[in-house]
């Protein structure tokens, strides 16, 4: 009430009270204070009446009674102090402008916030970002309420786009978007009150629109991730409001796709959202296939060429000025692309109907005089420009699919989730390549993150189930995905369908399952469609067997149909569906408590259909028989009441066919067999195709029988557990009833009866069954099985020379059978491991090598103790094939995948051979490199970070491996050292690396020192670690002669400059300085680093000169421009240290260059250079004088060597500037003398013959003398 009354006071005519003067400022100030206090209180603003009264008071004081400056000051003060104030203040300015038809309050507020310097906003951003963020929110709110006024004053705000307050830049970006979206101002402001330069209220917006768009395009590359994300969000808002001009549509799409690779997850999320909005609000068509747009564009370009007599190349793209003409053309783009539905790229139309359409695409010339579009040539030209833009947009979306597939593997969960959603949208819009992206997205169902897994399941539900037009369409879509998916994608799709069936979204008797059965059993369906439908049904039956139970006969009929037609895909799919019909077989499932469902009749149609596949005379030819036979054997063990007997019959039939005399022509003619014509031998009398099938059946039956035995054992345990549970409940009930039976149970347990005894007997029985499968030596003739009987045959075939050099199919079948039999028994496995590794070493077929690596991985899981002695061979020694460096990329991928699986599951110890896996980080094949990166990333996540313990050994092995190039070594170590993120581990590694300089400095080549120094440069040392590094000066000081070592160690110092001392160290230094009255303040740590850097530079110059002089003494020739890595040496701690020069490519590229042992100094270098100069000058006088100079040089070197033991203390305790000056002066004198001597030789052309004779006489002198003479010349 008080606010309402006070606001009414200002509406009265106060001139009558204060005549002849204006109302006093003190009087009006009371109203300003009252209104400001109201806006300051959040509780008061909750009342609409109070808020409107405060707005009226402040507006009246500012615009009616001339207190604009006071009101502006008060509102700006509130704006900088309270986070809730920006919205009410913007609303107050808008209300005042509407009530008094005057926008001066809003303009004054904008000028006030714009007058603050960008440096002040930067300071506020660093200290307290609340004020800057409030200013940004205010101008955003004001722009939404009063776009015309904001546009008039936007020139005052634009300089802040170059400021360093990112929150203000983000707000200005939003303001620009709002201004572009605005079509008119928020109020009817006249020329005098809003200071507009034109009577047209929309003129400022129209004039500045292009400039605003250019600023938004430029700001997408802002340094702040928040601003970049805000720019993309602004473009998305503009696209929703259809404010993005068609001329900028492709530009914005390109910006969004480019930001998908931004380093910030926030920006990537905003870019994905922008692409999704542009898809939803695109002005072209609801479907974006490139083929339809390209066909329409070609048609209209032909029309335009005939109408306007111009070539298609003369048609320009859409300019911004043509937007009004394009609006009408866009309405026809969708119809034009829809008319192309009968093109070869579209589905659902018969091919015979496409010919009339294609014939009518180019009409007769006489009909072209009347255009089909209203507007003549201009309308067709506009349509062509619109179609070009639409085609470009479709191509851009197609290119974005690959980038999104890369984001699916991102370590940030939001990237994978958002990319999944966008791939769904792309497929809904029919973008080319989106189907492949959706199939790759299915793999996210195996993610550890629950949110990512749920996103993959929801994507499948939206695309193929809830988003389908009908159950029939859903079934067709699922079948299409299954038919186009690879093996890994099929496993992912099966997992998704399992979750959907378990969740009840795909009921076993639901409409989708019924539609899928209808698709599989339709008479006019193709075999490929039937196979895809059966695959989907098998996936659903994995969770709910009720899917297949009523339709077993249909699957058997499809299997017979496949056998007649020879379709291996349909046979495999139908057999896989039959194998899911009785989960667990005779053993049942874990939920059935040891009770299995009834088996099928042995004489039923199902087993008759299976027999047609599991027969030597099967009509399935070539390699298509093997996957179908695998699924048929699985179905046999799942459905037959006596699977062992049925499998024995199958083995006998294939054995009889394999070891019978080879017929002149067999059904296996399509399989690759040996074509060599050799004399009749026992080996050549056997058909390779029949023998391969026999070996496959032996191995597969043995493996399935092992699984069957273990399943029966688990079923017995489950049945006994159910029985014991019932007995326990009965005993508890009896005890509760007062009956005594507990003593008898305790006595039975003490005597070894009951559960313990049964477990023992069960384990013994299971072990006996497993041993009898392949233990052909120990098994009795009565209990020997067929697998055990034929095991020696398999071993003999694998070691037979004819098989080793025969058909690849026979070799792979024999080795596969042997590996399956080895997985059954540990003794059999240990006995024949040498044979497996020998075959792996000598195998020439890449597919067989890859299969052997997978088999060895399975054996390592099954019997780790047996495979452990062969660890080196499993990693791949060079003399045993070295699978990790196999010439074929597929074999390397299988090898690294198997080894990564073993290492991550702790089935193989991480030994020194892991350096071979580290080399795969830089493998030429990206698939191999990605698996290696995943291995080390997962290894770093394990407890204790094993990579920390492996790094020293990895450094030694990789540095000593000559096949690892320096570039690859740096890339590998950079990635591995990136996993070290703890200061304690970093300090420990730095100490270990620094201690290695003791041996590296004495090596014959500088490569070890270079590698160690590079690893040190990668680490980020703490203050304590860098202090230890400086204290270990004597360890790496001898290696500073090398430029690359010096460059790497300088990088360590440069890193330390940014953080050494820290806040605590600087505070301590400042306190000590204040206590002692020193003026250094917090420059102590920096001065210490600069002193150390100058010390390192001086040591490098001295060591470099000594090394060069010693190498000259040994006969090496150096270039004239060979110089240390630093151009100058710091003369004191107060001067700026010199930047290290670029490393000489010739010097660093020769890792085998030698350096002398022991300690060298600059004095020796100077003496050697001086002696060399005199020697070169006296070379023309003959041999005796050269010998005297040489003796003098040796005496000087011996004199200098007596002072070597004091060089280290001199380098550490005293300045080395005189030594360096002496070295420089000697080098300058040498150069001057050599130049003078060369000039004399050039002028004395008359003495060439004499010099040549003297050179011949001096050939018997030492090599060092002749090379020095050559150097002087």
Q: Are 831 and 864 in contact (CB under 8 A)?
A: no
- Segments in the chain below pLDDT 70: 1-21, 24, 128-129, 183-208, 308-375, 584-597, 661-686, 738-785, 876-882, 911-912, 1061-1084, 1115-1123, 1125-1273
Per-residue H/E/C for 1108-1132: HHHHHHCCCCCCCCCCCCECCCCCC
Per-residue H/E/C for 495-507: HHHHHHHHHCCCC
Residues pairing with 877 in the sheet: none
Q: Are 977 and 1018 in contact (CB under 8 A)?
A: yes
| Residue the block writes with tokens 């505070």 | 1067
Question: What's the count of helices (H) and strands (E) in the chain, helices before strands?
Answer: 63, 0
Beta-strand runs (E) in 412-549: none
The Cα–Cα gap between 422 and 459 comes to 10
pLDDT number for residue 1202: 43
1140 three-class SS: strand
1107-1123 exposure pattern, b = at least 16 Cβ within 10 A, e = fewer: bbbbbbbeeeeeeeeeb
pLDDT number for residue 736: 72
Q: Are 939 and 914 in contact (CB under 8 A)?
A: no
Residues pairing with 1126 in the sheet: 1140
Q: What angle do CA 313, 314, 319 make, to 5 degrees?
A: 115
Question: How many Cα atoms occupy the beta-carbon half-sphere of 118 within 13 Å?
Answer: 14
Burial of 253 (0-12, 13-18, 19+ CB in 10 A): buried
Report CA Rg, the chain.
43
C-alpha 586: how far from its chain's center?
A: 46
pLDDT number for residue 271: 95
Q: How many other C-beta atoms are found inside a 10 Å radius of the C-beta of residue 189?
A: 22
Q: Are 1045 and 1039 in contact (CB under 8 A)?
A: yes
Q: Which of 375, 286, 368 is nearest to 322 (CA)?
A: 375
928-958 exposure pattern, b = at least 16 Cβ within 10 A, e = fewer: bbbbbeebbeebbeeeebbbbebbbebbbbb
The Cα–Cα gap between 1121 and 555 comes to 83
pLDDT number for residue 740: 54
The Cα–Cα gap between 1055 and 1020 comes to 7
pLDDT number for residue 333: 52
DSSP state of 542: T
Cis amide linkage into residue 20, ω under 30° from 0: yes
Write the pLDDT tens digit of every residue in 880-897: 556 788 888 888 899 899
Q: Token pair for residue 1251?
A: 């010099």
Q: Are 84 and 47 in contact (CB under 8 A)?
A: no
Q: Which of 1024, 1031, 1103 is nearest to 1065 (CA)?
A: 1024
pTM: 0.73
Q: How many other C-beta atoms are found inside a 10 Å radius of the C-beta of residue 513?
A: 23
CA dist 246 → 207, 252, 285, 643, 851 (Å): 18, 10, 14, 69, 55
Q: Which of 459, 538, 531 is nearest to 498 (CA)?
A: 538
User: Residue 1124: phi, psi to the nearest 5?
Assistant: -60, 170
pLDDT number for residue 1016: 92
DSSP state of 1007: H
* N-term to C-term CA, the chain: 106
User: Residue 1083: phi, psi to the nearest 5?
Assistant: -90, 5
pLDDT number for residue 585: 66
User: Residue 634: phi, psi to the nearest 5?
Assistant: -65, -40
Q: What angle do CA 175, 180, 183 make, to 5 degrees?
A: 120
Q: How many other C-beta atoms are found inside a 10 Å radius of the C-beta of residue 697?
A: 26
Write the pLDDT tens digit of every residue in 207-257: 567 888 888 999 999 999 999 999 999 999 999 988 888 888 999 999 999
């Amino acid at each position: 009430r008080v606010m309402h009354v006070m606001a009414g006071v200002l509406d009265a005519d106060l001139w009558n009270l204060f005549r002849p003067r204006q109302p006093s400022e003190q009087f009006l100030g009371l109203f300003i204070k009252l209104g400001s206090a109201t806006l300051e209180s959040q509780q008061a603003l909750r009342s609409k009446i109070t808020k409107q009264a405060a707005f009226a008071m402040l507006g009246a004081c500012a615009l009616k009674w001339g207190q604009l400056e006071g009101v502006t000051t008060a509102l700006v003060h509130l704006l900088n102090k309270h986070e809730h104030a920006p919205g009410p203040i913007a609303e107050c300015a808008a209300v005042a402008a509407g009530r008094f038809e005057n926008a001066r309050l809003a303009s004054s507020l904008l000028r006030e916030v714009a007058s603050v310097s960008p440096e002040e906003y930067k300071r506020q951003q660093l200290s307290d970002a609340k004020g800057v963020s409030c200013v940004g929110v205010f101008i955003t709110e004001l722009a939404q309420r009063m776009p015309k006024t904001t546009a008039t004053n936007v020139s005052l705000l634009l300089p802040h786009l170059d400021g360093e307050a990112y929150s203000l830049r983000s707000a200005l970006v939003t303001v620009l978007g709002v201004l572009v979206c605005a079509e008119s101002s928020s109020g009817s402001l006249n020329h005098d009150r809003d200071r507009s330069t034109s009577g047209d209220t929309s003129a400022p917006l129209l004039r500045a629109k292009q400039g605003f768009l250019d600023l938004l395009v430029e700001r997408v590359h802002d340094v702040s991730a928040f601003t970049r994300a805000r720019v993309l969000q602004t473009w998305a808002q503009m696209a929703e409001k259809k404010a993005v001009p068609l001329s900028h549509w492709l530009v914005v799409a390109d910006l969004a796709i480019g930001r998908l690779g931004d380093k910030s997850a926030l920006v990537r999320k905003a870019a994905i959202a922008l692409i999704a909005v542009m898809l939803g609000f695109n002005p072209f068509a609801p479907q974006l296939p490139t083929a339809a747009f390209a066909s329409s564009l070609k048609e209209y370009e032909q029309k335009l060429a005939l109408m306007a007599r111009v070539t298609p190349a003369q048609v320009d793209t859409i300019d911004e000025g043509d937007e009004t003409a394009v609006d009408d053309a866009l309405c026809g783009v969708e119809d034009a692309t829809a008319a192309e539905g009968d093109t070869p790229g579209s589905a659902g139309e018969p091919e015979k109907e496409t010919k009339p359409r294609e014939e009518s695409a180019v009409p007769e010339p006489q009909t072209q005089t009347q255009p089909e579009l209203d507007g003549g040539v201009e309308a067709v030209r506009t349509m062509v420009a619109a179609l070009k833009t639409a085609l470009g947009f479709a191509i851009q979306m197609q290119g974005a699919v690959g980038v999104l597939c890369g984001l699916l593997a991102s370590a940030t969960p939001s990237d994978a989730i958002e990319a999944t959603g966008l791939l769904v949208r792309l497929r809904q819009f029919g973008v080319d390549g989106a189907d492949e992206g959706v199939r790759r997205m299915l793999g996210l169902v195996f993610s550890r993150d629950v949110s990512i897994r749920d996103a993959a399941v929801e994507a499948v539900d939206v695309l193929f189930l809830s988003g389908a037009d009908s159950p029939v369409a859903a079934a067709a879509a699922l079948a299409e995905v299954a038919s186009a998916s690879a093996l890994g994608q099929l496993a992912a799709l099966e997992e998704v369908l399992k979750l959907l069936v378990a969740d009840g979204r795909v009921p076993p008797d639901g409409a989708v399952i019924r539609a899928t059965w209808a698709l599989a059993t339709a008479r006019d369906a193709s075999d490929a469609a039937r196979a895809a439908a059966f695959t989907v049904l098998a996936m659903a039956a994995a969770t709910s067997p009720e899917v297949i139970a009523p339709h077993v006969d249909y699957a058997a009929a499809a299997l017979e149909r496949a056998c007649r037609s020879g379709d291996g895909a349909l046979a495999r799919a139908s057999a896989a569906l039959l194998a899911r019909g009785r989960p667990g077989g005779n053993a049942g499932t874990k939920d059935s408590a040891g009770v299995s469902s009834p088996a099928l009749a042995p004489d039923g149609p199902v087993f008759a259909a299976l027999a047609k596949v599991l027969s030597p005379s099967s009509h399935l030819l070539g390699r298509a028989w093997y996957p179908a036979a695998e699924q048929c054997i699985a179905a046999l063990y799942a459905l037959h009441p006596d699977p062992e007997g049925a499998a024995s019959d199958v083995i006998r039939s294939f054995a009889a066919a394999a070891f019978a005399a080879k017929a002149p022509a067999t059904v296996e003619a399509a399989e690759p067999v040996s074509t060599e014509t050799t004399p009749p031998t026992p080996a050549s009398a056997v058909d390779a195709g029949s023998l391969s099938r026999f070996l496959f059946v032996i191995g597969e039956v043995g493996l399935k029988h092992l699984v069957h035995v273990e399943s029966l054992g688990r079923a017995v345990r489950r049945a006994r557990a159910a029985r014991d549970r019932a007995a326990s409940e009965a005993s508890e009930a009896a005890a509760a009833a007062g009956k005594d039976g507990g003593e008898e149970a305790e006595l039975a347990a003490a005597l070894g009866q009951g559960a313990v005894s049964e477990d023992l007997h069960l384990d013994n029985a299971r072990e006996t069954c497993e041993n009898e499968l392949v233990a052909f030596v120990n098994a009795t003739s009565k209990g020997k099985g067929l697998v055990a009987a034929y095991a020696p045959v398999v071993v003999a075939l694998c070691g037979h020379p004819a098989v080793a050099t025969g058909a690849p199919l026979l070799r792979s079948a024999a080795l596969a059978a042997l590996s399956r039999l080895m997985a059954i028994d540990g003794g059999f496995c240990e006995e024949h491991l040498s044979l497996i590794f020998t075959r792996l070493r000598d195998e020439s077929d890449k597919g067989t090598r890859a299969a052997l690596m997978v088999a060895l991985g399975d054996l390592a899981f099954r019997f780790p103790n047996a495979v452990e002695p062969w660890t080196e061979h499993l990693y791949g020694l060079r003399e045993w094939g070295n699978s990790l460096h196999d010439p074929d990329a597929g074999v390397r991928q299988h090898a690294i995948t198997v080894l990564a699986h073993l290492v991550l599951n702790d089935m193989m110890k991480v030994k020194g051979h892991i350096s071979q896996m580290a080399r795969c980080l830089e493998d030429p094949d990206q698939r191999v490199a990605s698996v290696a990166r995943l291995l080390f990333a997962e290894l770093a996540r394990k407890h204790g970070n094993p990579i920390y313990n492996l790094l020293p050994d990895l450094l030694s092995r990789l540095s000593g491996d000559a096949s690892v190039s320096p570039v690859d070594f740096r890339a590998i170590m950079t990635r591995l050292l990136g996993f070290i993120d703890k200061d304690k581990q970093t300090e420990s590694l730095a100490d270990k690396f620094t201690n290695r300089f003791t041996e590296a400095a004495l090596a014959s080549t500088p490569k070890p020192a270079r590698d160690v120094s590079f690893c040190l440069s990668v680490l980020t040392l703490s203050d304590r670690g860098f202090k230890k590094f400086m204290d270990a000066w004597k360890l790496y000081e001898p290696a500073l002669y090398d430029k690359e070592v010096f460059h790497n160690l300088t990088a360590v110092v440069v890193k330390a400059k940014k953080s050494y001392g820290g806040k605590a160290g600087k505070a301590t230094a400042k306190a000590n300085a204040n206590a002692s009255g020193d003026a250094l303040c917090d420059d102590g740590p920096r001065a210490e680093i600069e002193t150390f850097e100058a010390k390192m530079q001086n040591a490098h110059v001295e060591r470099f000169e000594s090394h060069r002089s010693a190498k000259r003494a040994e006969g090496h020739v150096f270039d004239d421009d060979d110089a240390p890595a630093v151009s100058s040496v710091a003369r004191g701690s107060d001067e700026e240290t010199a930047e290290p020069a670029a490393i000489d490519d010739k010097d660093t590229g020769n890792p085998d260059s030698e350096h002398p042992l022991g300690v060298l100094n600059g004095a020796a270098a100077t003496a050697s250079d001086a002696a060399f100069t005199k020697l070169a000058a006296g070379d023309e006088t003959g041999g005796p004088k050269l010998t005297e100079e040489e003796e003098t040089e040796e005496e000087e070197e011996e004199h200098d060597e007596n002072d070597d033991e004091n060089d280290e203390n001199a380098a550490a305790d005293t300045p080395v500037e005189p030594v360096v000056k002496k070295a420089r002066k000697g080098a300058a004198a040498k150069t001057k003398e050599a130049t003078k001597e060369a000039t004399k030789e050039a002028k004395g052309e008359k003495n060439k013959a004499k010099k040549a004779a003297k050179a011949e006489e001096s050939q018997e002198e030492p090599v060092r003398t002749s090379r020095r003479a050559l150097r002087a010349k």
